[in-house]
Amino acid sequence: MVVGPSITVRRAMPGASRFAPSLRAAWRAVPAHFLAERERWPLWLPAGFGAGIAVYFAVPFEPSAATAASCVAAGVLCAALAIRSANTALRVLLAAVAALSLGFAHAAFRSERVAAPVLARKTGPVALEGLVESVQAHGKGMRVVLTELNAPRLRAAVPAKVRVSIRAANDALVPGNWIRVTAVLMPPPGPAAPGGYDFGRAAWFDRIGGVGFAYGRAQTIAPPRAPTLVERMQTAVARLRWRMTQRIDAVLPGSTGGIAAALITGERGSISDEDEAALRDAGLAHVLAIAGLHMALVGLGLFWVVRAILAAIPAVALTRPIKKWAALAALSGATFYLIISGAATPATRAYIMLAAMLAAILFDRPALSMRSVALAATIILLLRPESITEPGFQMSFAAVVGLVAVAEWEQKRRAAQEQDGPRRFASIRRYVHGIAITSFVGSVATAPYAAFHFDRATHYAVLGNLLAMPVMGFVTMPAAALAVMAMPFGLEEWPLKLMGFGIGIMLSVGRFVSGLPGATSAVPAWPVSVLVLITFGGLWTALWRRRWRWLGLVPVLAGVAVALTWRGPDILVARDAQTVAVRGDDGVLRLVRKASDAYSADEWLKRDGDARLSAEAVAAAADGVRCDAYGCIATMRDGIRIAATARIDALEEDCAGAAIVVSAVPAGRNCFGPRLVIDRFDVAREGGYAVWLGSTMRVETVEGERGRRPWAAATISSCSKYCHPRKASTR
């Protein structure tokens, strides 16, 4: 009986011994590769700093000021020891710890600096007076951010800012005006499901403590005080952007004007949902977000024009540094563009990289592309560490890191090709090749982040960009630059009409490509661990240059494996305790009855990779769901019964016969039969629920995922007074 196993072992050993030398050689080669890439080490410092910030957002509690100060002390100490250490491995380890510690502390201090009151519950109607900070078109009205608030009848701490939707727009809604409105305000909402997008967190860092809607028209009031110098400058920029947007809309009404405004001032509120969806599904969504393409066309286009004009004047070209003069002009133009565009994260990243390249020209230094990416990441994370959680930051840097890595590889390949002599139509070939490679690399690099945040994947982005980018580069953006230069003289009409012509072609391309069969696919939501694995693997592959870079494919493939095997929740409960969805035997998510919280239901379906709307996903009797005036009963796999109780009369029967009870009425302490009971007080306290069935039931809640964080304090505060003390019971 023992002989068989021993023979098997002996037969396996020679095979294993053949691989042992190769494995040992590969392991011994790692230090050599690491030391050979010494010049690339600094590129990992921003990644470590960002990882520390990400850890801050991931922990389920708010670190104390003492903890943050300890992290600063540890980071500074490790950095000092790393500088003095002679041991390479120890120096690298200490530098990594320093970057992580300082990133964590920086995010914690940033959260403390922006702290402002947040409404705990719905309030109003209440009279508000405040300063208009920004105005954006939204649907049939305007969305206004008010600051410097005065609300005498508000029975709570007054927020630093509120965002109010005003249907009756008028001339009072201009940045810098003081207005009075009557509004209903609510706390910034949390995610619709555990792990979903957290608007409350984004609002916290923008110091927005309430959102709501106004009744009637806004009235202009006299300023209660004189503005400071900084406020006058901010108001001047905001009004300039607002006036430019108004003049664009006057020439190009509708969605075309909205796209033109998005390209010039960064205001996207007037773009129709249909046009935005067409561009997105054609892989052209990056056109609407001012980033590297726009900044390069403006800055480098201005550089080329100024240099060409100066070169045409021999007396200047032969005696003056016209290349540096052109770089200064390009830097000035890019700075103005950044200001009027709103300085969003992608635009800021692109500006920093362009400024680094132009500064290299001014000081006769080589422009180090990947180092400029690292510089841009460091500056943005220092200014707004919360941007690391934003899709704009993640997708912008994913695209540019991938493009720069491919460009570094292309430089070596092109140098080898140039030794073979020039080719026919080399310029055209390079242009088409550049668009194709840029589109492909950008699409692949941003695909995981687009799928994670927007639950969609586009498949014809290369075709869409090949058709649209020539129009963008040779018609739309040059016309936009001419329009901006002509606006001070009131001559912007014809350049804007030319720009509108180019936008019309781009929209036609978007509609054509997005209408092709299989242009898009819905992607189920992933756990954040997938994004972490893919990000680490992508950075490893892009930042290193030697062959060991391909080891980065291991975590990428591991992330893909986790995404493919991830299973969504079997039951979802909205924060109203009335909107409930269950997963059928076919794996499809269905609502047990018509959703009263349609927003949450639509978000569930989208995150489940389901293109249906909530009204189309209501279960029928054939799906194992029966409903009456007292509630609904759903029978799932293995005969598990779920009761969605609507009235107190049905509670006793549901608690006796169902394994899981979701009650829109208080369940009290009398519902002991089910394995899980969730009632209206539970969802008021914990937000939405997600439940995974199996031998061991797993329950996650929105507030449990958010943790004890300052942006979640509104929910905790409101429930501390009004919620029933009983927690959802499971057994």
pLDDT of residue 10: 41
* 686-695 pLDDT, tens digit each: 999 999 988 8
pLDDT of residue 36: 87
Q: Name the token pair of 520.
A: 């898009």
Which CATH class, in words, describes the domain spanning 123-226? mainly beta
pLDDT grade, residue 17 (50/70/90)? low
Residue 311 near residue 322, CB atoms below 8 Å:
yes
Other C-beta atoms within 10 Å of 61: how many?
Answer: 9
pLDDT of residue 1: 36
pLDDT of residue 236: 92
Residue 349 near residue 374, CB atoms below 8 Å:
no
* 662-704 pLDDT, tens digit each: 999 888 777 888 889 999 899 988 999 999 988 888 999 999 9
pLDDT grade, residue 397 (50/70/90)? very high
Residue 404: strand pairing partners: none
Domain ranges of the chain: 1-36, 37-113, 123-226, 249-522, 528-562, 571-730
Interval 450-465 mean pLDDT: 88
Residue 258: which residues within 8 A CB-CB, separation 6 or more? 137, 249, 267, 268, 269, 270, 271, 272, 275
Residue 345 has pLDDT above 70, yes or no: yes
Q: How far apart are CA 690 and CA 581, in angstroms?
A: 10
Residue 457 near residue 525, CB atoms below 8 Å:
no
pLDDT of residue 67: 94
Q: How far apart are CA 298 and CA 302, in angstroms?
A: 6
Strand 580-583 relative to strand 571-573: parallel, antiparallel, unpaired? antiparallel
Q: How far apart are CA 70 and CA 81, in angstroms?
A: 16
Phi, psi of 62 (to 5 degrees): -90, 120
Nearest to 604 by CA among 584, 589, 585, 625: 589
User: Can you give the length of the chain in residues?
Assistant: 731
* 533-588 pLDDT, tens digit each: 999 999 999 999 888 899 999 999 999 999 999 888 999 999 988 999 999 888 89
pLDDT of residue 515: 92
- Within 446-575, strands assigned E span 456-458, 520-522, 571-573
Give percent above pLDDT 70 in the chain. Answer: 90
pLDDT grade, residue 18 (50/70/90)? low
Phi-psi category of residue 139: left, alpha or beta, with phi > 0 → left and psi -120 to 50 → alpha: left
pLDDT of residue 423: 56
pLDDT grade, residue 427 (50/70/90)? low
Q: How far apart are CA 457 and CA 522, in angstroms?
A: 6
Give me the sign of the Cα torsion angle 27, 32, 36, 37: positive
One-character DSSP codes across 608-641: BT----GGG-B--GGGTEEEETTEEEEE-GGG-E
Q: How far apart are CA 433 and CA 411, in angstroms?
A: 14
* 158-174 pLDDT, tens digit each: 899 999 999 877 788 89
**DSSP designation for 519:** S
Question: How confident is the prediction for the chain on average, in pLDDT?
Answer: 87
Highest mean pLDDT among 102-106, 309-313, 625-629: 102-106
Q: Name the token pair of 221.
A: 């009031």
Interval 208-226 mean pLDDT: 91
Q: How far apart are CA 32 and CA 140, in angstroms?
A: 63
Interval 76-91 mean pLDDT: 91
Nearest to 348 by CA among 382, 371, 323, 325: 382
CA dihedral angle for residue 201, residue 204, residue 209, residue 210, rounded to 10 degrees? -30
Q: Name the token pair of 607.
A: 């995150």
Q: Half-sphere exposure of 702 toward its Cβ, with a 13 Å CA cutoff? A: 30
pLDDT grade, residue 652 (50/70/90)? confident
Residue found by looking up tokens 């047990």 in the block: 592
Residue 482 has pLDDT above 90, yes or no: yes
Q: Which of 217-221, 415-419, 520-524, 553-557 has the lowest mean pLDDT?
A: 415-419
Helix axes 528-543, 391-418, angle to 10 degrees: 30
